[in-house]
Structure 1
């Protein structure tokens, strides 16, 4: 048989005897293809890009799966069965890798384990055993990459997991437990965030974190936010700001929630992204001069809002828009506790609004 070419070369007398005892059969399409390849001719394009050994082995392993199902073991195959396998897979391999990917994907999704995840071992049978064998010393050809890509596309994996000799840096699918472990998050926290974002279906019956699967690509940006979760109650102290000031900063988009969602259902969703807190503090430090003594007429933001009878949101919009040119901050003061503005400058901006300000400023009726 074709898959025993090396053995034929090594034991010619034995194979001559066996051939004399074996009933003749028509040359299979795979055998005819090999003969043409040995004569320097071309045939099926996808197979032509492989060595003869790769092409034959791939065709027979695929045929074994097609003809006898995933429970059939290669070691139990007879010569007649290998011949049948080669014939069974020939129409598939001549069509190229697109048809092959589709067939493997369908086979994979048919074999679902008790946890609801597809099982490559139960789906691919002897093909799996061949490609995943620790004794596989020769390059099996492009079939390995195809099987790997089909598995990545359909099976939940662990970030960094070795798959057919190559680590999977970012799986397309992964369980909540696997993602949480790789990203250093608690699985319950991660699940709450993903449900709020709609990445997980919160209406489905609850399952363990090991069984709930998420699209890693969709989850990744949310994971980065979850890593920087800061409870809203802590933000005033971190910025040395009042609660109304924090609310105004959220409304202006200077502070961002972990989830900007219409129906925030958890403390996680309402929490603030710590990176936006650091950005606000950096803005204050880099944008305004630090002084030892407050300039004449300059007051804290809350006092300025009181004197000018405008909202804290308006003061902050002018501040972050850099429309107030004389803003300063007191040395030794943290965050907003040291920021000083001139009420007269605020009034001037309200009387003659700068470009690109909100309607609240442009149509102020003070």
Structure 2
């Protein structure tokens, strides 16, 4: 006779477990019971048969009870997916030949029921999930109970339970004591209360749990291991959970921690990120639930590896390069790395003290794209002289006067000049609407005009650019030699600044010499009496001018610095010195409400930047 009490579903029980107990109530095995009830054995046990009403009738429970049993069992939705607790998991996350459970829970089932023994034991649905390793109720590992590859025989639990009943009762199969982690508690709560919002910021509970494990395993950088395989997986899940629980900040920190562990700077992304990379690029590649993590990891990779357009990274063909290495940038601009690297250092693209190899020292490709485009146009003295129509010696003379500033200051670079500077230089001296003359009668070239005016060629050119001297182009000539000025106009030019043989110069000339040509600050400094000056006569024009003698200049340099003088003292480009003063917040010299922009007191602020020499060359 069957027991008087007909089975009712237990909390979290699976459908095969409940049907096994119903079959035991009728004193027959599960396959026979299902066949007698007209239910297909395989389809019913796997949850593939959608006859909920018939199941409810056979099991004497409501359709809602059947739905609950199915939700804890997992129902196939295609070849490799299952719906479990209103979430989508891959089948292998729930179905495994090895069946696990908590022996302590099973013993309690037997003691609580009037039926007693294995017929009362309940298999819980969450025990199937491969991310569940601990019974939270008893604080022990789940134990392997039996192993069966054939699904129908695996789900028929009573024969298996009878085989191990003695060991279950004696505690032989009990798992190791294990304190539930925050991950264990979180996952258990998610399964008990499905549909409570995003899972750790991931599209699905499956993606969240799988990433906890992948991240946790890769973050085991110190070789920490559990006391067994279960302990290792358990620790990895908790480690990854702490990362995802902290949101974007935690994930970014974890990915960069993995990035820093590269044993060899030339290791690729696949080796650096290990199984996290290979799984996202392999068996998880078509699962959209992992797209956010793929995108995040890809973004990190593109910022730290010089991936070229057209290459595929984590399933996506890269359209735009995000970063260059010194080597890839050198190949792009057609230079040797030994030539390009100093340029990148000088312009601030890479740190001077970074000793990584050219193949792995990277920089932002988009930000420094204009620099590389500029480098492509750089030429040497020969090309600059040719564009200007003059000899290399003449070009050097113009450059020595400061009329051309090299794009790259490093003296080891043989091509530091920009073609555009030659074109711009000529355009500044010969407007597009300038007239063309066939003969040079009454006209004179700029170089020949220079000795006729105090200050030489520099002042002739400044007079032209300021509009005080008109120019014309001599036919049959090209470039700089073709630019002419009227001799009569040259004779009338009174330069605003000139310099004597003993080093005295006008205030305007000295102002330019110290890099303040646009500011006017130095002239105000002189007028306000904060630095000395001397009145001298220009012998060529018989006019008196306020000038700066060598002694006046020394007094200025003793008390003040500018970005240009500081740069000369330190042996760095002027732009570097100016940027450093600005970044450090050093204020310009100021008296009451008058500020002298670009001029700093030589004191703790300027000296704190360091000096290469004890003084500077005035001329």
Does TM, normalized by the shorter one, top 0.5? yes
1:137 offset after TM fit, Å?
A: 0.8
CA RMSD, 1 decimal: 4.4
1:111 touches 1:118 (CA, 8 Å); kept in 2?
Answer: yes
Instruction: Using structure 1 for the length normalisation, give the TM-score.
Output: 0.74
* Structure 2: distance between partners of 1:258 and 1:192: 12
Deviation at 1:334, TM superposition (A): 0.9
Q: Give the whole-Å Cα distance in 2 for the aligned partners of 1:33 and 1:332.
A: 90
Kept after mapping to 2: 8 A contact 1:240/1:336: yes
Structure 1 residue matching 2:318: 3-state secondary structure: strand
The equivalences for 1:94-133 within 5 A come to 94-113=245-264, 116-117=265-266, 119-133=268-282
Label 1:131 to 1:2 Cα distance change in 2 as closer, same or farther (>3 A): farther
Whether the 8 Å CA contact 2:198–2:204 is kept in 1: the answer is no
| Structure-1 residue corresponding to 2:286 | 137
Q: Provide the residue aligned with 2:241 in structure 1.
A: 90
User: What's the counterpart of residue 181 of structure 1?
Assistant: 331
Superposition pairs of residues 167-246 of structure 1, within 5 angstroms: 167=318, 169-172=320-323, 174-195=324-345, 197=347, 209-210=358-359, 213-216=361-364, 220-242=369-391, 246=395
In the alignment, structure 1 residue 344 sits paired with structure 2 residue 491:
no
* Higher radius of gyration, 1 or 2: 2
Larger mean CA deviation between 294-303 and 90-99 belongs to 294-303
Q: Could you tell me whether the CA contact under 8 Å between 1:175 and 1:214 is conserved in 2?
A: yes
Partner of 2:305: 156
Which of residues 174, 191, 196 in structure 2 aligns to 1:41?
A: 196
Q: Per the alignment, in what secondary structure is the counterpart of residue 289 of structure 1?
A: coil
CA distance in 1, matches of 2:279, 2:75: 15
What's the secondary structure of 1:340's corresponding residue? strand
Is the alpha carbon distance of 1:344 and 1:53 closer, same or farther for their aligned partners in structure 2, counting shifts above 3 Å? farther
Q: What is the distance in 1 between the residues matched to 2:483 and 2:392?
A: 16
Greater relative contact order: 1 or 2 (C-alpha under 8 angstroms, separation 6 or more)? Answer: 1
CA distance in structure 2 between the partners assigned to 1:190 and 1:150 by the alignment: 25
Equivalent-residue separation in structure 2 for 1:162 and 1:290 (angstroms) = 58
Task: Return the match for 2:187 from 31, 34, 37.
Answer: 31
| Aligned equivalent of 1:267, options 414, 417, 440 | 414
Q: Which of residues 449, 458, 467 is equivalent to 1:322?
A: 467
Distance 1:177 1:338, change over 3 A: same
Aligned counterparts of 1:4 and 1:258: Cα–Cα separation in 2: 69
Q: Would you say the 8 A contact 2:452–2:490 is kept in 1?
A: no
Deviation of 1:342 after TM superposition, in Å, equals 2.0
Q: Which has the higher strand share?
A: 2
Answer yes or no: is the 8 Å Cα contact 2:326–2:337 preserved in 1. yes
Structure 1: gaps of 5 or more residues = none
CA deviation profile, 1:112-136 (whole Å, cap 9, x unmatched): 21xx345433332221111222761
Partner Cα separation in structure 2 for residue 20 and residue 95 of structure 1:
31
SS at match of 1:303: helix
Contact 1:36 1:42 in 2 (8 A): no
Residues 191-216 of structure 1 show CA distances to partners (whole Å, capped at 9, x for unaligned) of 343355565677887x86435x2424
Q: 234-243 or 93-102, which moves further after superposition?
A: 234-243
Partner of 1:63: 216
User: What residue is the counterpart of 1:255 in the other structure?
Assistant: 404
Q: Equivalent of 1:290, from 435, 439, 449?
A: 435
Query: 1:257 aligns to what SS in structure 2?
Result: coil
Q: Report how far residue 83 of structure 1 moved.
A: 5.4
What SS class does the counterpart of residue 291 from structure 2 fall into? coil
Whether 1:312 and 2:457 are equivalent positions in the alignment is yes
Q: Structure 1 pair 2/340, CA: closer, same or farther in 2 (3 Å)?
A: farther
